[in-house]
Amino acid sequence: MLRSIWLKFAALAVAALVAAIGSAEARTLDEVIKSGVLKVGVNPTLPPLGKFNEKNEIVGFDVDYATEIAKMLGVELEVVRVGSPDRIPFVASGKIDFVMGAMTRNPTRAKVIDFTLPVHTEVFGILTTEGKPFKDWKDLNSEKVTLVQVRGTTPIKFIGKNLPKAKVTQLDNYPDVIRALAQGRGDAMLDVVDFVGEHMNKHKNVKWRVLADKPVDVYFCGLGVAKNSTGLKNWLNVAIFELARRGKTDAMWKKWFGIMMLYPTGVGPAF
């Protein structure tokens, strides 16, 4: 979502926290292999990237992906629960080997930790239905357009600033928003579209359309690693490419999100 300002201040706060607690040495690739365990941070409050199942176990795309990484490395996976405030300090201080959970790559965060190649993207854009005339998100700035949005979310502010002419119907949650669009009670939704694929699939008779070629923004999310973990980062880049090349990343994404990744990462053999 529209996170640029929040990320700037959050990263500065994290940098101060890391400086305060000190920076332990991250484990080298050889040390991870010799230990037989890969420690990965996963945020269980970001479904379907991470969530708790009925057994109170953390599951989701991030866990499946980290499991594949551990298999390729020949070690066991240890999932470490992290939240937004502590995930970067956990990496920087060596408590975990890398962190997942929508880790958007940006220059501010990169002052504190390093990033691998992107594992996935997130499209902040427009979800509408077939037959609607929209070709660009800016086409929504019309008094004839009704957007359906989740009350209190960041896109509401973006719409007020950038699409002031559009009417906005605010509902309590994403399932209700998708249902309203399916029933024709609105024209479009502006949000991170990837995360509503599960809800879209519940309306089989609706021909959904995503303006993926004209998104508001695209976020590239990689694995966050410590600054001194060059060997591990280099190996992870090879693994990320292999999982993408074999189609395993796409398969895991489709399993958990219900739709294919809307904007391919473009991960290639040269990096």
| pLDDT tens digit sequence for 3-14 | 444 444 444 444
| pLDDT tens digit sequence for 216-245 | 999 999 999 999 888 999 999 999 999 999
| pLDDT above 90 as % of the chain | 85
**Does the pLDDT at position 197 exceed 80?**
yes
- With bands split at pLDDT 50, 70 and 90, how would you rate the model's confidence at 107? very high
**Does the pLDDT at position 157 exceed 90?**
yes
**Does the pLDDT at position 20 exceed 70?**
no
Q: What are the extents of the domains in the chain? A: 4-122+219-257, 123-210
| pLDDT tens digit sequence for 55-103 | 999 999 999 999 999 999 999 999 999 998 899 999 999 999 999 999 9
- Asked whether this chain's domains 4-122+219-257 and 123-210 adopt the same fold, the reply is yes
CATH class of the domain defined by 123-210: alpha beta
The pairing of strands 37-42 and 98-99 is parallel
Average pLDDT over the chain, rounded to an integer? 91
**Does the pLDDT at position 17 exceed 80?**
no
Judge if pTM exceeds 0.85: yes
Q: What is the mean pLDDT of residues 125-135?
A: 96
Q: Whole-angstrom Cα distance, residue 245 to residue 269?
A: 9
Q: What is the mean pLDDT of residues 114-133?
A: 96
- With bands split at pLDDT 50, 70 and 90, how would you rate the model's confidence at 104? very high
Q: Count the Cβ atoms, other than its own, within 10 Å of residue 18.
A: 19
| pLDDT tens digit sequence for 40-49 | 999 999 999 9
- What pLDDT does 18 receive? 47
Q: Can you say whether residue 258 is alpha, beta or left, with left for phi > 0 and alpha for psi between -120 and 50 degrees?
A: left
Tell me which fold the domain 4-122+219-257 belongs to. Answer: D-Maltodextrin-Binding Protein; domain 2 (3.40.190)
- What pLDDT does 24 receive? 63
- What pLDDT does 192 receive? 95
**Does the pLDDT at position 164 exceed 50?**
yes
